[in-house]
Structure 1
Amino acid sequence: MANIAFLGTGLLGSAFAEAAAKRGDSVTAWNRSADKALALAPFGVKAAETSAEAVRGASRVHLVLKDDAAVEAVIAAAQSGLSPDAILIDHSTTLPALTAVRAERFHATGLKYLHCPVFMGPLAARDAKGSMMVAGPKVLFESVEADLAKMTGRLEYLGERADLAAANKLFGNAMIIGLSAVVADVLTLAQASGVNGEDAIRLLGLFDLNAMAAGRGLNMAKGNFTPSFELAMARKDVGLMLETADDRPMAALPGIAARMDQLIAAGHGADDASVLGIDALARP
């Protein structure tokens, strides 16, 4: 049984703390809003009045916080209670550049820190499903690998580069948010066309989205825009979509149309529609 702490017990943090306590760990939790930590008492989680009190005697300190500013402030406040061997496990979604600076500063001062963002919601956290990425010193990862594996369905160590998990978390969230926006527009088109929304979503099952993302995505990353669906034709289709939607709010397609117009004006109309990603290749 390990003595561990959770700093930040919102929806995800509380789910992690609850699951850890059910696995038999001795768990102490702290949250800015004390009631959220106190609500975990039925699961055997002890609530601490301060972050420094929460981490006292803990071998692992899990942070599930809103942003970089919260991570910095909470660690600074908790540091007086940290034992020399405690490992900070930061599950927060943060800016890659600030994550790299923070990790370098912590390691220089002797703090043991791993950045471990996740792709999972509260239910997945309770059931140890979803994915967790880890970036930081390999020796630290290996010392907690078995413990982290108990928290997730898939554990991916990305290497020692401190900001790599932060960057990959943004990649994944961009896909999730972008997909949500496009699906919203599909539902808007369905409404405008008098088609049941659930039927429209079922139709999307005809597509192998993973294969499309892998195939088109790799071609885009390589700068291969050999046409299979010309940008000009794709722009025509987007025009049909916007005309069908009429004055209904759209989440993604108007912005896509505007970008297509820019690229067509720049001479890319005969390239594949994936040329939408061309500017990503122009930067080092």
Structure 2
Amino acid sequence: MAQTWTLENARWRMAVSARGAEMRLLTEKSAGREWLWTPDDKTWKSTAPLLFPVVGRLIHNGLWDDEKFYPLPAHGFLRHQTFSLLKHSPCTLSLISHATDETLNIWPFLFSVQVDYQLLDTGVRIVWRVTNQDRQPLCFSLGYHPGFALPVAQEHGWRVTFDDAMVTGPFYTRDRTLSLTQNAGTVREFTLTPDAFCHGAVYFAGCQGRRVNVISPEGRRVLQYRLTHQPWVALWGVPGADLLCIEPLSGTTDAPDASGQQREKRGMQWLAAGAVYQQQLDMVFPADGAR
């Protein structure tokens, strides 16, 4: 069983696993409330996986680098890797994972991914740092897939809203693939109807630097995301389950006609040799106490 580290302050208790640097618990102590989804075999087996070096389904079950094919699972492999400890204090944790002989067989790049957690009174700050340790440009995409235990199936009227300006979407997936329509609309909110996720995840574009809010049926803001560079946000859940995933992403699942070439996959980035790419996410619970 993977090692687990605990962070704690006056309001929160948090647990993070070495496997995938995955946050496993986020408990609000005074309320006795667990905010993260509890994994189960029937609905969803994860809590908050990190997606790297690809996001979403690969319709060819891998990617080509010109004529060489590299088999890859959906969402990549980093969520299954064991991270090493860099530092740990009562309210902070830094973990790191490097390329291995095993990963080089399916993704031919030298890299490291560092994940920094900071427990605040308002919630959690997470920073991801991808470093290219190779002599060639590093091709990758990065995403985060936390699931929250919210009564979205029991109660009608839950919404997700976007501060500041409209975002482009919604874009609905089919068979875990995503087609982008040329005349897409723009929205500031999305209502979580019982059939919202009947075909899978729902994507929104143009989310860099935005604040994303979860609003209860009573109009109370119970959770806010504060994003940095992530251009995409995907929402996902299982019909009939009290589960809501809010995913800040640098890329998306494959298009149904994707070529399978790594350089053509939507959202893939190229990081120069020795360069560092950083993303940050603040989770604020609740962002206000008013309706």
Same fold (TM over 0.5): no
TM interval, shorter chain, is: under 0.3
Greater helix proportion: 1
> Which structure has the greater CA radius of gyration?
1
**TM-score normalized with structure 2 length:** 0.22
TM-score scaled by structure 1?
0.23
Give the structure with the higher percent strand.
2
